[in-house]
Amino acid sequence: MSVRRVAAVAMMHARDLSRRRVALALLILLPIALYLAAELGPQDPATAELQAQNPGEPSADSAWILTTAGIGPLWSVATATLFVILGSRRVDQRLLLAGFRSTDLLVGRMGTVLGLGAIITPLFTALIWMMREVDVGLLVASIGLLVIVAVGHGVVIAALVRDEMEGVLAIIGVTGVQMMIVGQAWLPMWGASELLLRAGGLSGTAEPVTAVLHAFAYTAALVGVGAVAWARKVRLRPVTRMPVGAMADSRSSGSSG
Amino acid sequence: MTVVLSVKNVSKTFRRRTVLNDVSFDVRRGEAVAVVGENGAGKTTLLRICAGLLAAESGTVARSERVAYCPQEPGLIDQLTADEHLRYVGAGLGLSATAARGRGAALFNWLRFPSDETGTVRELSMGTKQKINLALALLADAPLILLDEPYQGFDRGTYDNFWNHIADWRAAGAGVVVVTHMLAELHRVDRVLELRTGGSWALNGAERGVLR
């Protein structure tokens, strides 16, 4: 892997992504809409009654709203990762022949979507901070972790599916399941979600350090599996390489043989 | 003459259908070989195996370290410009942005690519995309050039220019393999590899531009 090649990949895909303005706006706005719908929508009557009976207790709705808030960047960044990686599959073989390694392509594209995450994280943090009382430090950390875990989701799904449609369906499934099943440590989003609940004043079951380690460990595992599958999928087949100079060499020295 | 591509007993099947059966041929510096055959005869498959993009089931391929491969479908990124493509592929080749642009400018000039074109690939015509496709392949300045019908969408002048340029590449010492349906142009190559449905093949001289 070369830093120069990785930087070239990251830069070019950042340009490509930045010019897809409608798609970029949807990636940012749809999760915001999801969160605002959960935050501002009418409360479930049974939950409202329960909260009226226990005014000092945190609302069950708060946990649901914060989980929904976490799903937003997870969905958004995972989908962006999928499209940045898979959307370039027609050019991958050309890039391999030019001298890029499959790891250059993967790491560079991860860099592009982490850049997108760096835009989404403060946006989401500001939005949630405006809507409810939160610990800003924990909130930034949890959204940042969600972005990192989301890149892991996108990498592994992009490496395992054949096209964007399969990948989007897989992401909808994976994020949907994590939205429905809350508080299960075997889910990749659990650590970041626990931190998000804690940021919102709800006592998560995990200590912050455990939550952070969980998120990083899961991301490493997802990226590791994705990288292995990617290296098998995007590669040059073995051919015997003959030491023959460039066409320009022949022009300057005359052909041999 | 130095061999730049050596294909020995290469076979390939797709879903039990034999596409290539024991194909063998060499390409030397300064030599041009046309690959012809009907649709589905395995022309693109053979070229991809030669490039190292597809594995053969049996047989061996030896080729020059560096290869220029131009796919039939332009392998481009819709939202990047031609200049950005040059810099992107150039980075893989170890070229600086300036070197990639310089080499690309010469190729674009030859291909009659409009020098004032700064739009993204998405905004370009099929023929113009194909010119970028070919220029990116040739950016490698490789001793082996593999071309899979690279002239689709070319205007008449660029098309004629393309075939004339095959002679220039041969003179410069490159070995050229070109997949084509244009049988009228076969007098411009040294040999013709004809692939037939079912995997059989024949390698002929093309002195008269007629397949035996």
pLDDT value at position A248?
53
- B 75-104: CB under 8 A from A: 75-80, 84, 87-94
Virtual torsion, Cα A61, A67, A72, A75, nearest 10 deg: -140
| pLDDT mean over A131-139 | 89
Using CB atoms, which residue from B52, B69, B77 is nearest to A16?
B77
Strands B175-179 and A240-242, bridge-based pairing? unpaired
H-helix segments, chain A = 3-19, 21-40, 45-53, 60-86, 89-98, 102-131, 136-160, 164-180, 190-199, 208-233, 247-253
Pick the residue from chain A with its C-alpha nearest to B73. A90
Using CB atoms, which residue from A5, A251, A257 is nearest to B28?
A257
Put simply, the answer to whether A246 touches B66 (Cβ < 8 Å) is: yes
B37 touches chain A (CB under 8 A): no
Look up the pTM and report it: 0.86
Q: Among A136-145, B88-97, B175-184, where is mean pLDDT lowest?
A: B175-184
Distance from CA of A127 to the nearest CA of B (A): 31
Closest-CA residue to A152 (of A88, A214, A101, A81):
A81
Q: Which amino acid makes up residue A178? A: Q
| Residues of chain B with C-beta less than 8 angstroms from the C-beta of A238 | 52, 55
pLDDT grade for B16, boundaries at 50, 70 and 90: confident
Q: Say what the ipTM of the complex is.
A: 0.87
Give, to the nearest 10 degrees, the angle between helix A164-180 and helix A136-160.
140
B57 touches chain A (CB under 8 A): no
Pick the residue from chain B with its C-alpha nearest to A237. B52
Residue A42 has pLDDT above 80, yes or no: no
Q: Under a CB-based contact definition with an 8 Å cutoff, are residues A159 and A78 in contact? A: no
Put simply, the answer to whether A8 touches B92 (Cβ < 8 Å) is: yes
| Residues of chain B with C-beta less than 8 angstroms from the C-beta of A17 | 79
Containing H/E element for B202?
A: strand B201-205
| pLDDT mean over B18-32 | 90
pLDDT value at position A157?
96
B118 touches chain A (CB under 8 A): no
A254's torsion region: left (phi>0), alpha (psi -120 to 50) or beta? Answer: left
Strands B3-14 and B58-64, bridge-based pairing? antiparallel
pLDDT value at position A22?
94
Alpha-carbon gap, residue B203 to A187, rounded angstroms: 59
Summary mean pLDDT of chain A: 86
